[in-house]
Amino acid sequence: MPQVINLRSDTVSQPTDAMRRAMAEAEVGDDYYRQDPTVIAIEEKAAELFGKEAAMFVFSATMANVVSVLSQTKRGQSVILEASSHIYNNEAGFLAAFGGLTPRTVEGDRGRMSPAQVEAAVFPPAVLHPQTSLLCLENTHNFAGGACLSVEQTKALADTASFLGLKIHLDGARIFNSAVAQGVSVKELTADVDSVTVCLTKGLGCPVGALVVGREVFVADARRWRQAVGGGMRQAGVIAAAGIVALETMVDRLAEDHANARRLAALLAEAGLILDFPPDEVETNIVFAEIPVELMDAEEFVTRLAAEGVRVNPPRDRRIRLITHHNVSADDIEAAGAVVRRVLGR
Ligand code: TLP
């Protein structure tokens, strides 16, 4: 079996040796009593990095989104989301299941909603409608191919949200990819939103963990919701320790993943795949490409790639998603490109 090049997701990234060491050596206590110094350290570090009052360590980005949305809405209200957003499509319907919320979706341009679209998605104030209370954003936007929201775009949406009386939750599972790609700080990118989900297990390589950041009162509410969904933790410093290493050592290197994704896009285009965007418009670490029907059946293509050691998720509508991360090197990208050409006989 050849060496595996795993492009299924950046979630497949492995913890680094430094993380494993930090996990083994972490000083811990019972977080229920707020006595785990490592958990407290990552929460203080995150609050400081994002320029917010407080932060809370949680198991996953999904849990971060769940507690953030539930803390800022009431049953019966409505939430505005982008149509292909992760919260709307990939979080097992928690908006309805846990929140009693009516989602209202808006089709963005590469995942970016305009302020006018948001305004149009707010239900009128009549008693027969749900009351719209929250706007959810996603930066980077996964299913829009890792597209970034800029500081200015976020500010424009925040101005509209504030005018309309809406809070904003940002699913920033890949916010560090966005910051590195745009050369801005996460503090600037999240200055205008009320709450942020930050994932540690994607490009940052941790085995488990995410953070929510926002105001003190918001984090206090989110802490209660975390308990309600069974997310309370004990000696969680064991996993938070990896998160501290990630925040300190894994952020700047994301630029390599972005360069690798662009190169991968170019190699796929050369091999005859149809990209969602040209390689120079690949903004971060995610590439979507379609396998033209005349080249090969998409399922067969993915199976044959796997047989040659290149893993991607099953296609949807002939499209595949490829994601780079720290366990995929520039050489791996060239090797993956060669496998794609060979499989397609080109
Ligand atoms: N995304 C995963 C899958 O669920 C699709 C992936 O492989 O990309 N927000 C965004 C924008 C995400 O992409 C994801 C995970 C999450 C939240 C949830 O993270 P987890 O699954 O770690 O809770």
Which pLDDT score, from 0 to 100, does residue 79 have? 98
Is residue 285 within 8 A of residue 324, CB to CB? The reply is yes
Pocket residues: Cβ below 6 A from ligand 1: 9, 11, 60-62, 86, 90, 138, 142, 171, 173, 199, 201
d(CA 149, CA 170): 11
Q: What angle (nearest 5°) sits at the alpha carbon of residue 197, between those of residues 37 and 184?
A: 100
**How far is ligand 1, taken at its centre, from the CA of residue 256, in Å?**
21
Tell me the CATH architecture of domain 5-13+253-343: Alpha-Beta Complex (3.90)
d(CA 238, CA 270): 45
Q: How far is CA 143 from CA 139, 242, 322, in A?
A: 11, 27, 11
Task: Please give the structure tokens belonging to residue 91.
Answer: 């979080």
Which pLDDT score, from 0 to 100, does residue 3 have? 83
User: Which DSSP string do the residues of 286-313 spell out, in sequence order?
Assistant: EEEEE--TTT--HHHHHHHHHHTTEE-P
Which pLDDT score, from 0 to 100, does residue 2 have? 57
d(CA 224, CA 260): 41
Sort 117 into a burial class: Cβ within 10 Å, 0-12 / 13-18 / 19+.
middle
Sort 346 into a burial class: Cβ within 10 Å, 0-12 / 13-18 / 19+.
exposed
> Where do the structural domains in the chain lie, given as residue ranges?
5-13+253-343, 17-249
135 forms bridges with which residues in the sheet?
Answer: 80, 168
Residue 79 one-letter amino acid: V
pLDDT in single tens digits along all 346 residues of the chain: 458 999 999 999 999 999 999 999 999 999 999 999 999 999 999 999 999 999 999 999 999 999 999 999 999 999 999 999 999 999 999 999 999 999 999 999 999 999 999 999 999 999 999 999 999 999 999 999 999 999 999 999 999 999 999 999 999 999 999 999 999 999 999 999 999 999 999 999 999 999 999 999 999 999 999 999 999 999 999 999 999 999 999 999 999 999 999 999 999 999 999 999 999 999 999 999 999 999 999 999 999 999 999 999 999 999 999 999 999 999 999 999 999 999 999 8
Q: Which CATH number fits domain 17-249: 3.40.50.2000, 3.30.310.10, 3.40.640.10, 3.40.50.12590?
A: 3.40.640.10
**How far is ligand 1, taken at its centre, from the CA of residue 205, in Å?**
13
User: Which DSSP string do the residues of 185-203 spell out, in sequence order?
Assistant: -HHHHHTT-SEEEEESSST
Which pLDDT score, from 0 to 100, does residue 343 have? 97
Q: Which atom of ligand 1 is nearest to the CA of 140?
A: 11
